[in-house]
């Protein structure tokens, strides 16, 4: 396969990161989880008591922050100012606050530039909310991945269980629906399917089936 760019967008819990990781590994590509960057900014803001609605303070903080994504066996490690925060950025507190941070246009601008830099040489699988529509508009393969809210809540539930994070189905359903709403209705780069993206509904698909579907498309493309 050529060193193409594969953009995968979709709502929380659609299976993007799990599937993107497998696709990247099978193709020998680099996987980049852009949600982790928004989470990293949110994590630092929370630990530094910076108001999440204060776009200027957040920007000032971000310009003074080093976010490093390191490919690892299980996907990607995330470092903020040299500290490994891979686990911390998945906490409930970060998860329930990240959409507020991600709604600021100035914060997005800085992170998008970084994402474009990381993807410049191709051979990349990047997942997020605005990859096909903004970050990598020329990506050779664009996927919009979704699944029913019920199925996504179920996946998050088992995912949390595995990580030892307490949660209930009802709470997760609510949280997923709210994050969908915030991400889709915001003004700056809302979550929306790109015109040239292929829709992939993973509700009834296993992880392997979804990954295979994308790999097949990648082989046709590359």
The residue with tokens 């193409």 is 4
For position 155 contacting ligand C5P by CB under 6 A, the verdict is no
Give the containing element (helix H, strand E) for 145. strand 141-146
Cβ-based nearer residue to ligand C5P, 185 or 216: 185
For position 12 contacting ligand C5P by CB under 6 A, the verdict is yes
Exactly one of 38, 43, 144, 157 binds ligand C5P (CB under 6 A); that residue is 38
Helices (H), 48-148: 55-63, 92-102, 105-119
Q: Are 102 and 38 in contact (CB under 8 A)?
A: yes
Exactly one of 21, 39, 142, 156 binds ligand C5P (CB under 6 A); that residue is 39
Residue 220 Cβ vs ligand C5P, minimum distance, rounded to whole Å: 25
Q: Are 132 and 7 in contact (CB under 8 A)?
A: yes
Is 10 annotated in a binding site? The answer is: yes
Residue 79 exposed, middle or buried by CB count within 10 Å (0-12, 13-18, 19+)? middle
Cβ-based nearer residue to ligand C5P, 57 or 91: 91
Which residues in this chain contact ligand C5P in the complex, by CB under 6 A?
12, 34-35, 38-39, 98-99, 102, 128-131, 179, 183
Binding-site members for ATP are 10-18
């Amino acid at each position: 396969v050529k060193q193409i760019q594969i953009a995968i967008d979709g709502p929380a819990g659609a299976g993007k990161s799990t599937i993107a990781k497998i696709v990247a590994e099978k193709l020998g590509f680099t996987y980049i989880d852009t949600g982790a960057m928004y989470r990293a900014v949110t994590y630092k803001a929370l630990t530094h008591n910076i108001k999440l609605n204060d776009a200027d303070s957040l920007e000032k903080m971000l310009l003074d922050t080093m976010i490093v994504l390191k490919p690892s066996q299980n996907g990607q490690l995330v470092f903020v100012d040299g500290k490994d925060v891979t686990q911390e950025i998945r906490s409930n507190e970060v998860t329930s606050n990240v959409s507020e941070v991600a709604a600021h246009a100035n914060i997005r601008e800085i992170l998008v530039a970084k994402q474009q830099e990381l993807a410049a040489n191709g051979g990349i699988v990047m997942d997020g909310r605005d990859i096909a529509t903004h970050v990598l508009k020329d990506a050779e393969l664009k996927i919009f991945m979704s699944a029913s809210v019920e199925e996504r809540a179920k996946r998050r539930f088992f995912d949390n269980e595995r990580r030892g994070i307490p949660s209930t189905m009802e709470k997760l359903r609510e949280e997923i629906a709210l994050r969908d709403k915030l991400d889709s209705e915001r003004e700056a780069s809302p979550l929306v399917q790109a015109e040239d993206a292929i829709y992939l509904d993973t509700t009834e698909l296993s992880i392997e089936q979804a990954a295979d579907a994308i790999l097949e498309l990648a082989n046709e493309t590359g």
